[in-house]
Amino acid sequence: MTAYITHPDCLRHEMGPGHPECPARLGAVNEHMRAGGLLEELLCLEAPLAEAGDLKRVHAPAYVDLIFDSAPSEGYARLDPDTAMNPYSLNAARRAAGAGLMAVDAVLDGRAVNAFCAVRPCGHHATSRSAMGFCIFNNVAVAAAYALEARALARVAIVDFDVHHGNGTEEMFSRPQWRDRVLMTSFFQHPFYPYSGTADPAPNMINVPLAEGSGGAAVKRAVETHWLPALEDFKPQMIFISAGFDAHREDLLGGMALIEEDYSWITRELMALAARHSQGRIVSLLEGGYNLSALGRSAVAHVKTLKER
Ligand SMILES: [Zn+2]
């Protein structure tokens, strides 16, 4: 069974008129799942609120406290040029991180083989000490650290296929204390926001920068040449996915050219790897994706594949 974890609070966070990271994104994902008849076939769960202690495994305690104190009672509190909080954002951010925690538990306790967290705000740009690029808490990092520290896994992999480099996740897990226990693999458009990912910060980071316009063939090459051999050697006990769908060719925020079938292919490759090393365990969390139709269709392709097992 595949778990589908979300929460209505994630629809209440919004950052001002015209902002691309809008509630309608999550609405589109939910609606495409429903229209595709998928929801009845998934284990649908409501995300809990992550506690401060769970967030502080990867975020500086002072940053977590600052966010808990920053939620405005009306209007917006600006965190960075692209990221803001409205009165509902704190709960949405805690639910987004909480979904990942619940997904780890559901998979490790055998309620589900794998899980998709349909959440916002997204997370992979959030660093240990700062909100950035629409992200408040680094949801995938919070979940991975929970699996390692609270659920006693020895090694986990984080795979990031968002069009943007997951600089926050990289910053957190480049640290010596995590290097032997976390392998991160990603591809991303380069040069492009956030203009990181090419400096090779640590041996546990497998980064593949791709030129604007890159499509399925380039991505398959990157995955087969760089990701899969490293993942195969590492033998992760659980695979996390930063599932951004903004590398889709219809997504104009990004400049890559993937289609739904490419997301199915990546998902299938990761499932084959997870079957060999991780008892099939995959926890996937929504990151970017700003063309509502392409986002909905790509998320369906991804979840349909997860469910195929
Ligand atoms: Zn993105």
Residue 226 has pLDDT above 80, yes or no: yes
- Name the pLDDT band for 199 (thresholds 50, 70, 90): confident
Residue 309 has pLDDT above 90, yes or no: no
Task: Work out whether strand 83-85 and strand 77-80 pair parallel, antiparallel, or are unpaired.
Answer: antiparallel
Dig out the tokens for 44 from the structure: 């649908």
Condensed to tens digits (0 to 9), the pLDDT of residues 84-118 reads 999 999 999 999 999 999 999 999 999 999 999 99
Q: How far does residue 152's CA lie from ligand 1's centre (Å)? A: 30
Q: Which residues are 283's β-sheet partners?
A: 115, 240
For residue 117, give the nearest of 101, 129, 133, 132 by alpha carbon.
101
> From residue 121, how far is each of 7, 135, 224, 246 by CA, in Å?
12, 6, 30, 15
- DSSP E strands, the chain: 2-6, 43-46, 77-80, 83-85, 114-117, 156-160, 182-189, 205-210, 238-243, 282-286
Given a contact cutoff of 8 angstroms between Cβ atoms, the answer to whether 88 and 76 are in contact is no
Residue 128 has pLDDT above 90, yes or no: yes
Concerning whether 226 is annotated as a catalytic residue, the answer is no
Q: How far does residue 212's CA lie from ligand 1's centre (Å)? A: 14
Choose, from 7, 59, 125, 248, the residue flagged as catalytic. 125
Dig out the tokens for 132 from the structure: 């950035």
Q: How far does residue 192's CA lie from ligand 1's centre (Å)? A: 10
Q: How far does residue 163's CA lie from ligand 1's centre (Å)? A: 5
Residue 200 has pLDDT above 80, yes or no: no
